């Protein structure tokens, strides 16, 4: 077995172990009826608003792929890009190791539509960069505006938090500067990479930041039912949770997201709000993405079989 494969599965096992421990630590003090009652206490209006924010987030996520497809100078239509993006990310974000799981699904779709391995790799890479940029911008804004909560969780001084926030925004500004002035390509083996155009880089910043801001808004909606939660504090909790998820590689951030949000928000993050957020942002898209993926795969196979029959008939 290759070392990379062992490392991948080892990371997944460790992530699952950590997720299991954190979930047990969070949910062990509650009964099933406690959890159901806590979810039921969230007003319908808040749940609907959270769903709307999450739906808008998934629309933003299709923009991640759109920038990637345009980066490789392909004119694939947006409906196909949106289909590939939603299916791959709705499954990948819940399975974990999203770069690998969603990347494999993306390859299946984009290769079917005529792209080669290098193009798909660049799309996945640029999407990952967009995730990092969006998180960096929101982290920078949150840490500069609300350093107190971040300092408490990170156990560093507020000055250090402000420095981290400024560094995040400076890194994004540096990325935009490179997009504007650095045009020399970088060659890695047989593949050539080049900075995106400034227009695409700006699109990455806007789409990435709006995406994370929308998800933070969804989290705030489900928590606002229990207490008066400010958007700023909810966004702080979500930013720190995402940093923890990146570090731990827990599948779908399972357990890590809930534990971090609970640590930041305290009693303001009821058990019902954590469950509702997990269901709305992860489980509902997954429940839509899996059957949609199966239907799409069936259509691909049917078209391939029809094409093979047509070619066979033309050669007779």
pLDDT tens sequence for the chain (316 residues):
466 556 554 555 565 565 565 566 666 677 778 888 888 889 999 999 999 999 999 999 999 999 999 999 999 999 999 999 999 988 888 775 555 567 778 888 998 898 998 899 889 889 989 999 999 999 999 999 988 888 887 788 999 999 999 999 999 999 999 999 887 776 666 667 788 999 999 999 999 999 999 999 999 999 887 677 889 888 988 988 888 777 766 666 777 788 888 888 887 888 888 889 999 999 999 999 999 999 998 888 888 777 666 665 665 5
| 5 within domain boundaries | no
Quote the tokens at residue 45.
């209006």
| CB 154, CB 161: distance < 8 Å | yes
Q: How far apart are CA 117 and CA 134, in angstroms?
A: 26
- 6 within a domain of the structure (yes/no): no
Tally of CB atoms within 10 A around 186: 10
Residue 210 lies in a domain: yes
Instruction: Establish if 65 belongs to a structural domain.
Output: yes
Domain presence at residue 31 = no
Pairwise CA distance, residues 31 & 28, whole Å: 8
Q: Is residue 105 part of a domain?
A: yes
Buried b (16+ CB within 10 A) or exposed e, 31-53: eeeebeebbeebeeebbebbbeb
Q: Which residues pair with 191 in a beta bridge?
A: 188
Is 211 inside a domain boundary? yes
CB 22 within 8 A of CB 258: yes
Residue 168: domain span: 11-24+39-295
Helices (H), the chain: 3-27, 32-40, 44-71, 78-95, 98-112, 117-145, 147-154, 158-181, 198-223, 231-248, 256-265, 271-278, 284-315
Give the pTM.
0.85
Q: Are 200 and 209 in contact (CB under 8 A)?
A: no
Domain count, the chain: 1
Gap between the Cα atoms of 243 and 139, Å rounded: 9
Q: Would residue 306 count as lying in a domain?
A: no
Where residue 253 falls (left for φ over 0; alpha for ψ -120 to 50; beta otherwise) is left
């Amino acid at each position: 077995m290759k070392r990379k494969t062992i490392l991948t599965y080892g990371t997944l096992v460790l992530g699952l172990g950590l997720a299991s421990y954190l979930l047990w630590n969070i949910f062990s003090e509650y009964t099933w009826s406690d959890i159901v009652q806590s979810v039921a206490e969230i007003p319908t209006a808040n749940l609907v608003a959270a769903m709307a924010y999450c739906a808008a987030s998934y629309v933003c996520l299709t923009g991640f792929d759109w920038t990637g497809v345009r980066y490789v100078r392909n004119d694939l239509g947006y409906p196909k890009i949106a289909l590939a993006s939603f299916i791959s990310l709705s499954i990948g974000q819940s399975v974990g190791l999203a770069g690998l799981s969603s990347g494999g699904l993306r390859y299946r779709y984009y290769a079917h539509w005529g792209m080669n391995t290098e193009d798909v790799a660049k799309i996945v890479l640029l999407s990952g960069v967009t995730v990092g940029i969006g998180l960096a911008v929101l982290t920078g804004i949150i840490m500069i505006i609300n350093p107190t909560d971040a300092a408490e969780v990170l156990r560093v001084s507020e000055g250090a938090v402000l420095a981290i926030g400024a560094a995040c925004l400076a890194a994004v500004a540096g990325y935009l500067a490179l997009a504007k002035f650095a045009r020399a390509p970088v060659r890695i083996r047989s593949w050539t990479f080049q900075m995106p155009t400034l227009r695409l880089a700006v699109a990455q910043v806007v789409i990435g930041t709006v995406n994370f801001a929308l998800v933070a808004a969804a989290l705030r909606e489900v928590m606002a039912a229990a207490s008066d939660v400010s958007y700023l504090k909810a966004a702080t909790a979500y930013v720190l949770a995402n940093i923890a998820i990146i570090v731990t590689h827990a599948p779908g951030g399972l357990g890590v997201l809930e534990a971090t949000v609970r640590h930041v928000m305290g009693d303001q993050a009821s058990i019902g709000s954590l469950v509702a957020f997990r269901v709305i942002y992860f489980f509902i898209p997954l429940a839509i993405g899996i059957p949609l993926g199966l239907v799409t795969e069936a259509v691909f196979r049917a078209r391939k079989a029809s094409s093979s029959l047509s070619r066979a008939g033309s050669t007779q």
